[in-house]
Amino acid sequence: MADDKKSWEHRLKGGPADVTVDFVESLSVDKRLYKYDIAGSIAHARMLSEVGLIKEQEFTQIKEGLLAIGDKMEQGQFVFDKRTEDIHMAIEAALVEQIGEAGKKLHTGRSRNDQIATDIRLWIRDQIELLQRLLRQLQQAFVELADKSSQIVMPAYTHLQRAQPISAGAYLLSFVEQFERDYKRLGNCADLMNVSPLGSGALAGSTLKLERKSTAEQLGFADITANSIDAVSDRDFAAEFIFDCSLIAAHLSRLAEDWIIYSTNEFAFVKIADQYCTSSSMMPQKRNPDLLELIRGKTGSVYGALVGMLTILKAQPSGYNRDLQEDKFHIFTASDTVEKSLVVAREIIKHTEFDADRISSGLDAGFLDATALAEYLVGRGVAFRQAHGIVGQLVDYCEQQSKRLAELDVGDFHKFSPDIGSDVYEWLGAKAVVNRYTTEGSAGIEQTAIQIEKWKKRLADKT
């Protein structure tokens, strides 16, 4: 047999048309999986030698050949040829070329279908570790800034209207919580996909006596997949991973949106260091938050990847279908995008300061203390719904008089409620209010200090 042919070229005559080669190849996308493919192949070959399907010496030859190919790829010296279709065939072809006969035994009891299912799991596993590390670093940066800013009282918004005063530290810690859930979500994803599909073959398994637990163990999987048909077609973990990336992107985009607003002249709550801003080619005065806008914009690519992945999965017939090859584009897009955004977000947080004077100079506007005044009345035995009405009227009165609540005298207050005493002033003004929040997890000064300590300790334990 003329063995310069791909093995299936004995079945299909004349070789593939150029358009076929171009259209089916995934090498341009999946070549970055080479390390994982090689690790999977070494594990598979070792198992084949353990069960006597290849000789020990053949295993050694295969292993050394694969490692040499890996080195070549690492050094950028490997010539990728799209006619080999994908990373699996590229490596196998190079191995046969390098070591001859023994190389032709590597694919015993294996299909590219279980091979790719294994490679992606291994790649995502490493990537999850990396993203988790970046999330921790981002949380660290937030906690440091929260620590520096915990005494700054700022307005919090609902509906982007002034709502209640909070510690800037509490605002920052709200992101630490979001990224903590992202961290855990990724961990859950890693746990759920921690099973080896190797040995599932094309979809039905094999008549050969493969020892699946051996490859699983060598590759660090906790177990083996239970059903070969499911194993080769399951990409739930990929959809889940991309969803986890999507929520990270969502959280980053909320931060970006806040800080784009906070860095306007109108707000000027935060100042991002020059190195993390851009300017305009035309307007010389500009200091633009382009990095944040790009973080916000890149969320679109990540969500696009999620929809792409879910759509690939929809209504696929059972077993492996080539549609699945498109999964990698979406997995890589989502992961690469979020990885870069996390790095940039971390650097921006580290190089931003809150402008305490500016924030404080505008604190009196917007009746941030109105809710606390209603709660003061509750303390005086007034039903909350009634107190809410009284304070509403007081705010209306203040607006007519162009006054703050704290500028009214007791006589003014009495026009609206006999229950307001001269101690009311201890409840008025944004700073007084922030010192009065007592509920656990509140955005007040005291609770923020507790949360900061908790996070410092947790992050120190973990990193």
Please identify, among the stretches 39-47, 174-182, 320-328, 403-411, the one whose residues bind ligand ARG according to the rule CB under 6 A.
320-328
> In angstroms, what is the minimal distance from the CB of 71 to ligand ARG?
23
> Is 234 near ligand ARG (CB under 6 A)?
no
> Is 442 near ligand ARG (CB under 6 A)?
no
Residues 196-215 that bind ligand ARG (CB under 6 A): none
Select from 135, 133, 123 the least CA-distant residue to 190: 123
Name which of 82 and 388 has its Cβ closer to ligand ARG: 82
Residue from 7, 28, 280, 361 carrying the catalytic annotation: 280
To the query of whether residue 174 is one of the catalytic residues in this protein, the response is no
Name which of 298 and 328 has its Cβ closer to ligand ARG: 328
Name which of 30 and 234 has its Cβ closer to ligand ARG: 30
CB 202, CB 111: distance < 8 Å: yes
Name which of 233 and 253 has its Cβ closer to ligand ARG: 233
Residue from 159, 281, 402, 422 carrying the catalytic annotation: 159
Select from 311, 301, 292 the least CA-distant residue to 334: 301
Q: Is the C-alpha dihedral spanning 443, 444, 445, 446 positive or negative?
A: negative
Alpha carbons 443 and 434: distance in angstroms, whole number: 7
Alpha carbons 243 and 247: distance in angstroms, whole number: 6
Query: Residue 318 class from Cβ within 10 Å (0-12 exposed, 13-18 middle, 19+ buried)?
Result: exposed
Q: At what angle do helices 370-379 and 384-401 cross, to 10 degrees?
A: 140
Please identify, among the stretches 110-118, 154-162, 180-188, 345-353, the one whose residues bind ligand ARG according to the rule CB under 6 A.
110-118
> In angstroms, what is the minimal distance from the CB of 123 to ligand ARG?
12
CB 94, CB 305: distance < 8 Å: no
The contact pattern for ligand ARG, residues 21-40, with x = CB under 6 A and - = no contact, is: -----x---x----------
The contact pattern for ligand ARG, residues 85-104, with x = CB under 6 A and - = no contact, is: -x------------------
> Is 113 near ligand ARG (CB under 6 A)?
yes
> Is 325 near ligand ARG (CB under 6 A)?
yes
The contact pattern for ligand ARG, residues 47-86, with x = CB under 6 A and - = no contact, is: ---------------------------------------x
Q: Residue 180: how many CB atoms within 10 A of its CB?
A: 15
| Nearest 10 degrees: Cα torsion 416, 417, 420, 425 | -20
> Is 46 near ligand ARG (CB under 6 A)?
no
Name which of 204 and 460 has its Cβ closer to ligand ARG: 204
Query: Residue 3 class from Cβ within 10 Å (0-12 exposed, 13-18 middle, 19+ buried)?
Result: exposed
Select from 130, 231, 221, 135 the least CA-distant residue to 179: 135
Name which of 246 and 325 has its Cβ closer to ligand ARG: 325
Using CB under 6 A, which of 112, 136, 162, 296 touches ligand ARG? Answer: 112
To the query of whether residue 233 is one of the catalytic residues in this protein, the response is no
CB 228, CB 205: distance < 8 Å: yes
The contact pattern for ligand ARG, residues 263-302, with x = CB under 6 A and - = no contact, is: ----------------------------------------
Alpha carbons 408 and 164: distance in angstroms, whole number: 20
Strands 161-167 and 223-224, bridge-based pairing: unpaired
Strands 270-272 and 352-354, bridge-based pairing: antiparallel
> In angstroms, what is the minimal distance from the CB of 88 to ligand ARG?
7
> In angstroms, what is the minimal distance from the CB of 220 to ligand ARG?
22
Using CB under 6 A, which of 38, 48, 62, 116 touches ligand ARG? Answer: 116
Q: In which residue are the tokens 């229950």 written?
A: 419
Name which of 209 and 322 has its Cβ closer to ligand ARG: 322
- Which token pair is 441? 């997890």
Q: At what angle do helices 327-350 and 290-313 cross, to 10 degrees?
A: 160
| Binding-site size, ligand ARG (CB under 6 A) | 10
Amino acid letter, residue 447 = Q
| Helix or strand (DSSP H, E) at 21 | helix 18-24
Query: Residue 82 class from Cβ within 10 Å (0-12 exposed, 13-18 middle, 19+ buried)?
Result: middle
Name which of 26 and 61 has its Cβ closer to ligand ARG: 26
CB 333, CB 299: distance < 8 Å: no
- Which token pair is 297? 């914009």
Please identify, among the stretches 50-58, 108-116, 380-388, 427-435, the one whose residues bind ligand ARG according to the rule CB under 6 A.
108-116
> Is 324 near ligand ARG (CB under 6 A)?
yes
Name which of 321 and 401 has its Cβ closer to ligand ARG: 321
> In angstroms, what is the minimal distance from the CB of 26 to ligand ARG?
4
The span from the first CA to the last CA of the chain, in angstroms, equals 58
> In angstroms, what is the minimal distance from the CB of 9 to ligand ARG?
14
Residues in the site for ligand ARG, rule: CB under 6 A?
26, 30, 86, 112-113, 116, 320, 322, 324-325
Active-site residue numbers?
159, 280
